[in-house]
Structure 1
Amino acid sequence: MAAQRKYPEDHFPHTFEIIILIMIFLAICHLCIEELAILLAWDSSTHRDLILGAFAFDLIFSLEFLGRTIVSLKEGRFLLYFTRQRGWIDFISSVPLAVLVSGPAIYLLFLSPDGQIEHLPQYMVLLKTAKAVRVTRALRLIRMLRIVGPVQYTESQMTNHHVATVATITVTTLIFSVFLLQLLPVSPVPGHAAYKSEVKHRLESYLADETRQKYEKPNATLFETAFPAIVYLKDSSGQVLYQRKESVPDWSPSVDLALSEGFTASLSYFQADANLALLILCLLAIILFLLVGYVLLYGRLFVQSVAEPVYMMDRGLRQWNYNLTIPEIKDRPQDEISKLANIYNRRWLPLKERIVAHYDRKKRDMEMGNSDHGHPMDSGKSVSLDELI
């Protein structure tokens, strides 16, 4: 199997690695469709199909992580895979999702063999808690650098690893910052608890308004505009003061609110989940733009300023017939790589030319054969550096 791998960090044959990359891309598309299904309030059957798809992806990636773990353990490089080769991303975007989210969701679906949807709201709560983890699957797109990288970065493995590391740090920080922000009371996209508290507070203020009669029915249009998540509002005697005209999605979880003076209301979390779905889609778009920017812009700049000079110096030190001058970095002369390139151009290249010319002259004088031509250090006679210079 190792002989069929294209890159040293691969664990499977190259064809299988390409299939995994395709599955990663399809999983990102599936995540976008899941968010659109919430945002656009698609029907319950569509959500059931998406749950099955989510479980299939989670199971495939869990088996993939298990396979990479077994291979890396056999080759004695599991710690390298898990830390430096982003195996931790493979883990958190597969096994926990299969065990804690999509697995229980499948179990809940099988509790409704007749196609009922009373268990879907329970899954939607599970799904909400796994949003941050599912978005980390976008980090696996970094593996595609191994396809785009050779096109952009000549032969620089250093650039591919560097860009992947910087992109991982940036995207990970962005993802967890957004979802930590969601836990704050002042978050622009609050969770269920904060959303319930905020709506309840506004509804209490509305009912306590002295300008309205205590049991007066509110204007349905204005009330729905002000409280789009309220399904109904009842007074202390159970009389319905407001009933939402359009039904809320039956897969969305809801909760009853006990208000002051005996009023009760039903709150649907559809609006909160729709806001979160919109946030996820925006976050995915930002991540994709960041990855494209790192690959096309930052990677190219890194090549020009670091990787290309190192590549040229490496060839110049190993090959006697490679004498290209490294382009000077005129706008940043104090950079370490700029100083190293100047020393290489002004000291090593002239010295190498003298060394090659010296041994060529010795070969002609001694009428040596072509077998040693091009390998000046293979000569049996030593020469001092002072003589060469």
Structure 2
Amino acid sequence: MKVTAALATAPKVPFEIVQLSLDEPRPDEVRVKLVATGVCHTDAIVRDQVYPTPLPAVLGHEGAGVVEAVGSLVTSVAVGDSVVLSASSCGICGQCLTGRPAYCSEFFGRNFSGTRPDGSTALNDGNSAVSSHFFGQSSFATHVNVAVRSVVKVDGNLPLELLGPLGCGLQTGAGAVINSLDVCPGSSIVVFGTGAVGCAALMAAAAVGATTIVAVDIVESRLATAKELGATHAINSRSTDVAAEIAQITGERGVDYALDTTGIPAVLRQAADILGTGGTVALVGAPAPGTEVSFEIGSSLLKGWHFRTIIEGDSVPQVFIPQLIRLWQQGKFPLEKLTKTFAFADINDAFDASESGEVIKPVLVF
């Protein structure tokens, strides 16, 4: 069938709205008509070839829509179901079977290779193949053939134009707090970077009862939003000594948790330095492969601190996304405060708004 898609053709080049051909869903796939899809920083860095998904490609990995067809092996959803789309995984490796699909042994191939596991693509321009199945979906298109492991069924009465970002960015930030770090009531956490991932982390920290929640950013409007979402303190790192401010806030004790959403080595080092005894620093940002950071390991040895990296919030999407929806329904995860909708044809405006910080989470509607 013919679909309209936003095509990434070269690094730093705007997306092109084009007509492509979509093949039939495979036995383990679902064809979805998109209602909306979030715009994520990962889409931008793949477009710009920080990660090597072959171009031309249809990106997009925070889709939400309605099932139009199912493959012969699919039993988890049916035609007409509302779904949110997330990352793909194999479902049979040791990591998948122990509830860690984000660390699937085939994660890179199933999410970044631009093909199905058999090497085929779902899309072509009439002359040559176009990379598809980005995060199992490639949701920058009106219709997609999605790996069934990427599909999360949701209540048909829910606003799909709001829920797409739960598939990656918001799941990552909230999952880092709830699943990975297991942030405790009464604890302290600092979140570096208050984009969509950071704001999701702040909301989750408030939802689970953290009592010192510090947002760090260089954009005042984002810091103001962070305070609305549950941050107890906001620090502009461009004008304030972060370490000194954290010391004052915590009475020199340092924080229990620090989450870096930026992937900037200097920020990660700062996040580690402000930890208290037994604290944990975690990275969810996406630095380029080969990026390194140094840590002080002399006096900090006495802290017994921990460092870990996190993908997709250590979540099982089919379990965690419904949990986030329930938090949203209770008013504890107000994701509508982060989003602004753009017409699909205005995708480049949406990316510009995200990059400038004007909009925390742009959502494209079809």
Q: TM-score, normalised by structure 2?
A: 0.26
- Higher RCO (Cα < 8 Å, 6 or more apart): 2
Q: TM-score, normalised by structure 1?
A: 0.25
For the pair shown, the structure with the greater C-alpha radius of gyration is 1
Higher strand share: 2
